Amino acid sequence: MRVLVTGGAGFVGTNLIKRLLKDGHEVVSVDNYSAGDKKNHQDGCLYHDYDLSSQHTLGIYVDHGTYPSWREVEYDVIFHMAALARIQPSIKNPYKTLFNNFVSTLNILELARQNNTRFVYAGSSSVHHGLYESPYAWSKFSGEDLCKLYSNVYNMDTAICRFYNVYGPHQVEDGTWATVIGIFEKQYRGGQPLTIVGDGEQRRDFTHIDDIVDGLIKCSEQPFRAEIFELGSGKNYSINEVADMFDKYYTREYIPVRRGEYDVTLADYSLAKDILDWKPTKDLSNYINSIN
């Protein structure tokens, strides 16, 4: 197949592209590198540096100029992984998150509609914990609603994959977009205290990136009408328990609770199991033991 991956230089996008290339597909990436990194580029994938929230993303909005080459290609599947992620940055800069995530999804859905392309959307488990608790949660849910709208009105094939706390190769370890496991890994390697928000008793469903990629691929292999699949491990750990996996006696630093965070995430992946024949295969404790 010919496949477009948005956010292809990011954590999820990079692992997805590696799998698609391994499976023999022709892959194109579009990323504005706000969170993605060129060091993640994979041989065999064509990368474009482009902002999907630009008004020039689609030819219907302009009547002049030369469109980017990725825009002119007809794809069999589009995986829309691009987004400004994380709750805290969205609270600090709501306009940036809301505009980018909504408009980018609208633009790329419109591209899919014009070319009758199957569409797989990266959702978020944050929708379960208050749509109005953070701009990020609302922005990701708005993308789900856009998928439902386009499937209903235009009979488009769309599927929604809600991610839980994803970890694994190419995860972000620094800065605004860093993952919990990525932060802990870097701190542990560097001999620094593990920083834990609040009392550390909040529980998270951690899902390995290989399982996420497998679910995304399965969603692209059959037609759906904005079906929602929860991709999580189905079990959760407190952040203190995760720290124990690194080293029960390792130094920890507890930092203040942050607005918009929630107490518990836990996936119910029964629909993915029944319809996609998908189930998680990787365990967090085994992963952490392998890097210790």
The reported pLDDT for the residue numbered 64 is 38
How many domains does the chain contain in total? 1
| Closest among 46, 34, 36 to 9, alpha carbons compared | 36
Q: What single-letter DSSP state applies at residue 264?
A: B
The pairing of strands 26-31 and 77-80 is unpaired
11-69 pLDDT tens trace: 999 999 999 999 999 999 999 999 899 999 999 999 999 999 986 666 443 333 445 56
Residue 244 belongs to some domain of the structure: no
Residue 264 belongs to some domain of the structure: no
Look up the CATH number of the domain holding residue 110.
3.40.50.720
Task: Give residue 149's domain range.
Answer: 2-167+207-231
**CA triplet 228, 230, 236: central angle to 5 degrees?**
160
The reported pLDDT for the residue numbered 69 is 67
Specify burial of residue 36 (Cβ count, 10 A radius: 0-12, 13-18, 19+): buried
Is residue 129 pLDDT above 90, yes or no?
no
Query: Which are the contacts of 223, defined by CB distance < 8 A and separation ≥ 6?
Result: 118, 157
Alpha-carbon dihedral sign for residues 260, 234, 216, 106:
negative
- CA-CA distance, 271 to 229, in Å (whole number)? 6
200-252 pLDDT tens trace: 999 999 999 999 999 999 999 999 999 999 999 999 999 999 999 999 989 99
Residue 12 belongs to some domain of the structure: yes
**Burial readout 148-162 (b: 16 or more C-beta within 10 A, e: otherwise):** bebbeeeebbbbbbb
Residue 218 belongs to some domain of the structure: yes
Residue 161 belongs to some domain of the structure: yes
0.75 cut: is pTM over it? yes
**Residue 44: Cβ within 10 Å count:** 13
Query: Which are the contacts of 289, defined by CB distance < 8 A and separation ≥ 6?
Result: 245
Residue 262 pLDDT class (50, 70, 90 cuts): confident
Residue 182 belongs to some domain of the structure: no
Partnered with residue 255 across adjacent β-strands are: 197
Report H helices in the chain: 11-22, 69-72, 87-92, 94-115, 135-154, 180-189, 209-219, 239-246, 270-271, 284-291
Residue 237 belongs to some domain of the structure: no
